[in-house]
Chains A and B, each alone.
Chain A
Amino acid sequence: MNYPVWDLSTFGGGFWIAFIAVIHVYVAHFAVGGGFFLVITEMWAAREDSSEILAYVKKHTQFFLLLSVVFGAVTGVGIWFTISLLSPAGTSSLIHTFVFAFATEWVFFLGEIIAIFIYYYTFDKMAPKQHQFIGWCYVGFGWLSLFTINGIVSFMLTPGDWLTTHNFWDAFFNPTFSPALFFRTFMALMLAGLFGFVTSVYIKGKPLRDKMLKYCAVWLILPMILLVLSAFWYAAALPEAQTEMMFSLSPEIMPFLKLFTWLTPVIMLTAIFLAIRFFPVSLKKVTAFCLIIMGLLYMGSFEWMREAARKPYIIFGYTFSNSINTADLEAVTKTGILKSARWVSHKEITPENQMTAGQEIFRLMCSPCHSVGGPINDILPVTKKYPVFAMDAMINGMGKIDTYMPIFPGTKIEREALAAYIVKGLHDRPDEKTPPEPNTLVAEKIPPFNADKDEYILLAWNNTGMQTISDSDPFWSIQPPGNTIYAQLIRRGELPELVTDDVIIEYSAPPEFAFPARHVSFWSYAESLFGKTPQLDTGLTGNGLKGEMAPHPSENAFIAEMVPVVPYPENAVYNPYPVFTVTAREADSGDILATAKTVVPVSTEMGCRNCHNGNWRIDDRTGIGAVTSSDILAVHDEKTGTTLLEQAENGSPKACKSCHTPDDPKILNLSASIHGFHANYLAGMGDAACHTCHPSSPDGATRSFRGFHNSMDFSCSSCHGRMEDHALALLINEKKTGKERAETLLKYLSPKAVKKISEINPRKPWVNEPDCLHCHINFEMPDTDEVEINSRTTSESGLFRNRTDDAGIMCAACHGITHAVYPAENPFSSNRDVLQPMQYQGNAYPIGANKNCRLCHTIDMEDEMHHPNTLTMFRNTY
């Protein structure tokens, strides 16, 4: 934020540092270990009085000199150059903390150069003991260089107590200083043996060559065994956060960890191969060359892991990769990136400069780790699937659950600009298509009702006004097809009664909805998903698209559970509001007592594709396509280690609730999990967060929120609270039961309706829901339209859909179901959600509104025996 950013595009994302650092570190370790190799081999030559071995040492010294003094030294300076260009702020921090450590290392570097020059040029000029002394001086200087640099490099991964004390010595002798020092020393010695092969294999005489190859194998293998042991020590010394990043969180590390693990035996075996006399020298020459490459990969994979384990920091816990210090994060987030950064040309974002401002934010925030189309952490493939909205959400959630990326430290408008730049600027992705307008359906023909003659009132409704099913059955299922139908039959009279005996109540879907199996593949996967094999077009409860409703005397109602309706009729593309006919008959005679029609809503408009790639499955407006479905599983697998995608591809998809059960001791229940996870990405988006996944959007294909409250301009959050509060309540409940994941998901959620998380009461899904009587105190007109988030139903029986009035009539029977309470306006045809009020009263108001007691009682009534405030006129005109 303090410095300009070198705009590298393709070669961004730390390519240059990875490139230079890996080759330098390789040669630098060889420069340390090689010193030991030279002087110890020289001593061996002296002991054996072998001029041949001594001649080899001299030759190897030349190779050593040319590689370490030239290439090693200059690339070492190169690392400095590179880090100061790629991360000037981080480099400045390091230099200011460690200036005298660097200066001391410079003294050792000078000593190394002088010693190796003398060593090389005085082979035949100095007494052996003195010459060896010079060699040991080189070794001393070289190893002290490693000692010093190790303090600085290990500090970046594990700054330890320095974070609080800011003391030089705490920084230098940090928690991984010792294991890293041993690890690197053994690595250096091992590489000495490895590079020894390169010169030994070119020795002309076979006996000496064989002898030296064997010698080099010992040099390689023994330190490598110790290296492996010190690697375990190193891993054990890592603090918890770094261990987690190293071995579970970072997606970058695993391939390198595997490479490192596999190369260990491969390198040792290669060394043994080279030491075996039998094999021809030409093959050994090629093998020695391969060994050099393997060594580079070995060293490189270690350094890569060490660097990646540090994510998302440059100095763990202190400076993020984007150069923002953790201490400044809050201030920057508040002020905004552009206003906090020095090197930007836009301080304010306007519609005109959104893209260029986004580009500047990209340069500051993303380019330190991401290239654009380059070999390192290419931003393009990982953002390809996102439209602007999803990109924005992705950035919003970054660093909160997956902590290998830093939290985005900007304002909402900056985040949107960045998202727009990535999606439109880098990918040139066109704007998202808005879904087509719902087809207008003809007004439904209303069954007749004769107030003077008809003896019965049949009220029927569904029990989930906003019902979504997933048609992603080949991959997963969040909800099987269908909705549940309720009915109550009232025998009219001065004292009307609810009838459940001696009558049957039938339901039937319109004929065009009779074949759901033609439209969704639920029936092919039902066994894998739900462990049942229902017949085609029959639901899990055994109900088909027409049939008899089961009497439930305790509720004075008839119920047809989960009638497997899907929103795909034979005669249209999409209709989420099929109108069922419900008929009451006398049980014995079969005579029709009453007929009513009711909508049984069912939608497939789950907006997974808004973020999870792919298009709508059906007609650019609804349904979950294969691409989207598999992406969800891929993300789930990546984040939690499941193998759901593989299982689905093998024909065994799973239902979400098969793991996310309410009672699992570890796994979050489905509501808590899905809301808790996504709230991190959708925080701060208001009702748009709800519309992202549910079919509630006023511009969507379903527009499920169609009840009277919608006409009053209420929104989802008016009753349910904001996404953050909604998720927090669910997570707090799960946290109470000791589920760790809840803690992770709620860590970065801030409550909206209250100040502190502790002020939010825990909530069980489908039990503690919005309570109508919270606003409608004593059934009266509300004083407020603001939800009190802790005021919820306390039990399932308290839910609107399960409750009855004082006479046993269910709330929804007279008022219509949630999200569609009377007078509701259906987006597909105006009368579809008010068929029964229209049938029985000729208006769209709740049954019995405007003192219409006569409808059931056949006479006017004076007592409010259903619930208070019934004997009034409907307040709002329609």
Chain B
Amino acid sequence: MDPLSLIPSPDALPVSYGWLKALLLSTFTLHIVFMNIMVGSCIVALFSGQGKYDAANTPSVQNDLTGKLTFIVAFTINLGVAPLLFLQVLYGNFFYTSSVLMASYWLSVIPLLIIAYYSVYISKMKFQSPGPRWRFLMWLTTAIFLIIGFLFSSNMTMMLRPDTWSAYFSAPGGTILNLGDKTLWPRYLHFMTASIAAGGLFSAFLGNQRLKKGLAGNDKRIAAGMKWFTHATMLQLVIGTWFLMSLPSHISRQFIGGNTTATILFTLGFAAAIVAIFFGYKKKVRLSSVMFLITVILMVLMRDLLRTAFLKPYISLSDIPVTNDYLPMFIFIISLVIGIGVMVYMLRLTATAVKKQQNM
């Protein structure tokens, strides 16, 4: 069956696609950073043995990370809403289709997320020190997050492959995963390994904050965190290469000379990872964090080029009609600016209040 005949026709965009793309990529970057920290924190917490890296009189790595996880999960979800929205506007005809094809799995994300989220809260509220029950809940949470990640990878790759969609006709019950796609596993592992790196870095970052406050004994913890970070990032070089090789050759070629932008981004991304490993090895938490963020931004941009390349035979965003209704977008931007202003003000009030209390 001709894949073109299956692709739903897109609806008109309210504003030029450039705006929507910019919003998609910027909000996705935020989401993916939080997601990386969320998944990574779970893994790092699980594998950081009780007291192994902890200084006296400070919360254990486990408690510390689970304490933060409730917030991180909340922001991961919230910051995921925006890119999911813009994705639907730009690529809804691909995304909805692949979602329907894997509908049973896709909808299961919601109950799974609720279970994981409550399990994080329970681990935080009920267990002062990590015991077997804490361990069970964290394993559960981690497993769920890994499953959800896999489902997202499956959906995000399947939406790029209309040539595989005709599988629907023999399985219309929403039970198709993109398992036949060579890029699925390396892509998924690429994201999850990045999460491990981010988890280690985040743990080190928390330790570093304490260190700056003059709390002694966080060195071991920082060292352990940075080890997670550097090792995972090194592994990432292997997985990244696997991912690159798994791409159809006409696409992978773009990143190694075939397309200038793609090649520059790829080179910069590769270099950024190397620099990050270097800083990680040197235990420079802040610099590593900056390099991590730069790498993420470059990877998000490359991911977008990859999507464009995959969808090239089927759609060009510039061909979608535009209704040019800009006023709602300005209202959104104004709401965003005012909203962020209020949020910053609230956070400053909090910081001042907390500082005041600590000084008392």
Contact = CB atoms under 8 A, between A and B. Distances in A.
A100 B332 contact: yes
A587 interface: no
B113 interface: yes
Contact of B114 (A5, A9, A70): A70
A324 to B, nearest CB: 14
B172 A363 contact: yes
Interface string A124-145: 0111001001100100110000
Contact of A114 (B11, B88, B107, B343): B343
Interface stretch (A91-99, A381-389, A391-399, A460-468): A91-99
Contact of B174 (A7, A114, A118, A134): A7
Contact of A133 (B11, B88, B331, B349): B349
B35 interface: no
B307 to A, nearest CB: 18
Contacts of B235: none
Contact of A109 (B78, B113, B174): B78
A43 interface: no
Contact of A88 (B1, B5, B100, B174): B100
Interface of A: 2-9, 16, 20, 66, 69-71, 73-75, 77-78, 80-82, 84-85, 88-89, 91-93, 95-97, 99-104, 106-111, 113-115, 117-118, 122, 125-127, 130, 133-134, 137, 140-141, 166-169, 342-343, 345, 363
B332 to A, nearest CB: 4
A115 B346 contact: yes
A126 B8 CA distance: 54
Interface in B99-114: 99-101, 103, 106-107, 109-110, 113-114
17 contacts: A2-B8, A8-B173, A8-B174, A71-B114, A74-B110, A82-B107, A85-B103, A103-B336, A104-B331, A109-B81, A115-B343, A118-B349, A134-B346, A168-B328, A345-B1, A345-B169, A363-B172
A683 B89 CA distance: 42
Contacts of A111: 339, 342-343
Contacts of A109: 78, 81
Contacts of B139: none
B95 to A, nearest CB: 8
A116 to B, nearest CB: 9
Contact of A134 (B92, B96, B349): B349
Given A3-B96, A89-B8, A122-B354, A107 B339 contact: yes
B343 A110 contact: yes
A126 B74 contact: no
B156 interface: no
Given A6-B100, A88-B96, 18 more contacts: A4-B97, A5-B100, A77-B113, A78-B107, A85-B103, A92-B88, A97-B14, A100-B332, A106-B82, A107-B335, A111-B339, A113-B74, A115-B346, A118-B347, A122-B350, A168-B325, A168-B327, A343-B168
A660 to B, nearest CB: 47
B117 interface: yes
Given A3-B96, A6-B172, A99-B85, A85 B107 contact: yes
A131 to B, nearest CB: 8
B107 A81 contact: yes
Nearest to B108: A81
B169 A96 contact: no
A99 B24 CA distance: 12
A99 B75 CA distance: 20
B8 A84 contact: no
Contact of A99 (B86, B114, B342): B86
A74 B113 contact: yes
A125 B357 contact: yes
A4 B23 contact: no
Nearest to A79: B110
Contact of B13 (A20, A69, A96, A115): A96
A125 B109 contact: no
B118 interface: yes
A20 B110 CA distance: 10
A38 B353 CA distance: 20
Given A6-B172, A107-B339, A75 B110 contact: yes
A352 B181 CA distance: 35
B56 interface: no
B84 interface: yes
B349 A126 contact: yes
A80 B96 CA distance: 11
Contacts of A113: 74-75, 78
A819 to B, nearest CB: 51
Nearest to A345: B169
B353 A126 contact: yes
B208 to A, nearest CB: 22
A108 B339 CA distance: 7
A568 to B, nearest CB: 52
Contacts of B74: 69, 73, 113, 117
Contacts of A84: 88, 95-96, 99
A82 B99 CA distance: 10
Contact of A66 (B99, B121, B329, B342): B121
Nearest to B75: A113
B93 interface: yes
B78 A342 contact: no
B316 to A, nearest CB: 18
* Closest 9 A/B residue pairs (Cβ): A88-B96, A100-B328, A2-B8, A7-B172, A78-B110, A107-B339, A96-B11, A126-B353, A6-B103
Contacts of B329: 100
A106 B328 contact: no
Contacts of A71: 114
A5 B174 CA distance: 9
A77 B346 contact: no
B71 interface: yes
A169 B326 CA distance: 12
Contact of B14 (A96, A107, A343): A96
Contacts of A133: 349
Contacts of A345: 1, 169
A817 to B, nearest CB: 58
Contacts of A122: 350, 353-354
A102 B331 CA distance: 12
A92 B339 contact: no
B12 interface: yes
Contacts of A103: 23, 82, 85-86, 332, 336
Nearest to B84: A80
Contacts of B7: 342
A109 B213 CA distance: 33
Contacts of A92: 8, 11, 88, 92-93, 96
Contacts of B11: 92-93, 96
B88 to A, nearest CB: 5
Contacts of B353: 122, 125-127, 130
A440 to B, nearest CB: 54
A88 to B, nearest CB: 4
B6 interface: yes
A85 B346 contact: no
B128 interface: no
A118 B346 CA distance: 8
Contacts of B169: 345
A563 to B, nearest CB: 62
A74 to B, nearest CB: 5
